[in-house]
Amino acid sequence: MPQVTEEAAKRAEEIKNEANEHFKKQQYERAIELYTAAIELDDNTAIYYGNRSLAYLRTECFGYALEDASKALELDKSYVKGYYRRASAYMSLGKFKLALKDYETVSKTRPNDRDARLKFQECQKVVKMIMFQKAIAVEENTKTVAQSIDLRSMVIEDDYEGPGLEEGMVTENFMLELMEHYKAQKKLHRHHAYKILLDIKKQLMKLATLVDVPIPDGTKFTVCGDIHGQFYDLMNIFKLNGLPSTTNPYLFNGDFVDRGSFSVECIFVLFGFKLLYPDHFFMSRGNHESVTMNQMYGFQGEVKAKYTAQMADLFTEVYNWLPLAHCLNSRVLVMHGGLFSTDDVTLDDIRKTERNRQPPETGIMCELLWSDPMPGKGRAPSKRGVGIQFGSDITWNFLEKNNLEYIIRSHEVKSEGYEVTHGGNCITVFSAPNYCDTMGNKGAFITMTGGDLKPKFTTYEAVPHPPVKPMAYANSILSLFS
């Protein structure tokens, strides 16, 4: 290792301290820039990598966080926070056994460290729970959750005053009442909730993995990005842009749930509109429509709190049937994450992709849900640790190969709610303003008309919501790893 001069080491320490101040103010991107500057001056100090790892965790760059934590431990095996950071990254990526291994290491080397012992024990519980769930799933794989639901046993009490399905069907009046019911922080009766889930599963099972969406000339079409359980902001979208209808079609591009604490309300409204307008309301799967994400980031806990564990399992079955992408007029491809690790992927390859499963760690389905664009050209390992990063040439080649004009994706917070990159070929739209009540970003949605498909962006600020904090239902173990 090259020697660091005393002057460089002193300046690096000053920059690190400045970065720490930005971190305290939740200015994570600036903190990352400064930690990087400190590392450029002195790349032999574990704490610089450890601090940057934590900042990457805050910005959900779990792949980079993992890399930095590992580098910190390479420099100093006794750097305990390095194990904590790496465990957090592993936990965020659903790699619970690897997280457990890090805490076991700390517990053995520091047997009197109560904090490490507590985290090891909690992580161990998660691993045992997952192993137990897998064992049960193998035993019960002959019968789906949907098949085990008995709606007749779910009697609607006489004193229930909420919205009701009309002859078992979602109607426009039901949807209007449901939204008002939710605004008043009331719950939909379990009978109606289960019926919606059973019906939406049947509907989604009939769809293709890649759905072709025709938009007639002159017809308006709206694409929304991540909602993340921010129900009151979802209502604001409909206030600004009109309710979904046969003349006002929408596509919601994944991550309907998690983090925000009104995810149940969001998903039932969206599923309700999908049932009401099956040919004019579209939903793509996001990376958060998965078991691991729902276990960690709140949706599973919220469903259990508002309904039952059985319903949480039913949601998992339903999410497995969500389409992975939509193609608008054979000219614009919309997916939650992004493009692929190879140059040969075609629309037909997406159509042939088996989607009725949990997202794998590699391949087309994984990359549709997890990948991100990057400046420059080529490909790079994902900052998230899953999927890839792809440059402008990758986007251009994909469009050229598949005779497309541009792609729309979501998956990333943007300060203005949207971002146009790769020479206009790649558009990101994110529809959850002031994400997690902390990010200060605007939300956005895209409108276009069927003829030219030229994107128009509408941005908006967050609206007030009841005093329930984001992540209120998240797995309690997350707080241990922050």
Name the residue among 78, 57, 60, 58 with its Cα closest to residue 68.
57
pLDDT at residue number 141: 58
Query: Are 363 and 301 in a shared domain?
Result: yes
What confidence tier does 186 reach under pLDDT thresholds 50, 70, 90? very high
Q: Is 100 helix (H, G, I), strand (E, B) or coil?
A: helix
In this model, does residue 282 exceed pLDDT 70?
A: yes
Report the chain's mean pLDDT, rounded to a whole number. Answer: 93
Catalytic site positions:
288
What percent of the chain has a predicted confidence (pLDDT) above 90?
82
Is the residue at 146 inside a domain? no
pLDDT at residue number 478: 65
Query: Are 114 and 262 in a shared domain?
Result: no
Question: Of 137, 167, 197, which residue is a domain's last?
Answer: 137
Question: Of 106, 137, 168, which residue is a domain's last?
Answer: 137
Is the residue at 402 inside a domain? yes
Query: Are 241 and 363 in a shared domain?
Result: yes
Is the residue at 190 inside a domain? yes
Query: Are 326 and 449 in a shared domain?
Result: yes
Pick the range with the lowest mean pLDDT from 60-74, 118-132, 350-364, 429-443: 118-132
Q: Where are the beta strands (DSSP E) in 339-439?
A: 372-373, 379-381, 388-390, 406-409, 418-421, 426-429
For residue 458, the surrounding DSSP H or E stretch is: strand 456-460
Residues 333-352 have a mean pLDDT of 98
In this model, does residue 235 exceed pLDDT 70?
A: yes
Query: Are 117 and 173 in a shared domain?
Result: no
What confidence tier does 110 reach under pLDDT thresholds 50, 70, 90? confident
Query: Are 300 and 354 in a shared domain?
Result: yes
Residues 213-223 have a mean pLDDT of 97
Query: Are 105 and 193 in a shared domain?
Result: no
pLDDT at residue number 481: 52
Query: Are 250 and 326 in a shared domain?
Result: yes
Question: Of 137, 166, 198, which residue is a domain's last?
Answer: 137
Query: Are 370 and 419 in a shared domain?
Result: yes
Total domain count, the chain:
2
pLDDT at residue number 143: 80
pLDDT at residue number 96: 83
CATH number at residue 29: 1.25.40.10
Query: Are 170 and 120 in a shared domain?
Result: no
Pick the range with the lowest mean pLDDT from 87-101, 137-151, 178-192, 434-448: 137-151
Cα-Cα-Cα-Cα dihedral sign, residues 377, 425, 381, 363:
negative
Distances (CA, A) of 387 to 93, 99, 289, 430: 12, 20, 16, 19
In this model, does residue 49 exceed pLDDT 80?
A: yes
pLDDT at residue number 94: 80
In this model, does residue 130 exceed pLDDT 80?
A: no
What confidence tier does 315 reach under pLDDT thresholds 50, 70, 90? very high
Q: In whole angstroms, how large is the CA radius of gyration of the chain?
A: 23
Tens digits of residue pLDDT in 243-265: 999 999 999 999 999 999 999 99
Pick the range with the lowest mean pLDDT from 215-224, 271-280, 441-450, 467-476: 467-476
CB atoms within 10 A of CB 124: 14
pLDDT at residue number 133: 65
pLDDT at residue number 140: 54
In this model, does residue 173 exceed pLDDT 60?
A: yes
The residues, ordered by sequence, that sit 6+ positions from 209 with a Cβ below 8 Å of its Cβ are 323, 324, 325, 350, 351, 352, 353, 354, 355
**Going edge to edge, which strands form the sheet with 379-381?**
372-373, 388-390, 379-381
Host domain of residue 189: 151-480
CATH number at residue 211: 3.60.21.10
In this model, does residue 270 exceed pLDDT 80?
A: yes
Residues 205-223 have a mean pLDDT of 98
Residues 102-121 have a mean pLDDT of 81
In this model, does residue 462 exceed pLDDT 70?
A: yes
Is the residue at 142 inside a domain? no
Is the residue at 225 inside a domain? yes
- Tell me, letter by letter, the H, E, C secondary structure of 233-266: HHHHHHHHHCCCECCECEEECCCCCCCCCCHHHH
Question: Torsions phi, psi of 245, nearest 5?
Answer: -165, 180
Name the residue among 344, 380, 378 with its Cα closest to residue 364.
344
Query: Are 300 and 273 in a shared domain?
Result: yes
Is the residue at 408 inside a domain? yes
Question: Torsions phi, psi of 8, nearest 5?
Answer: -65, -40
Is the residue at 237 inside a domain? yes
pLDDT at residue number 126: 76
Query: Are 259 and 376 in a shared domain?
Result: yes
Is the residue at 144 inside a domain? no
What confidence tier does 36 reach under pLDDT thresholds 50, 70, 90? very high
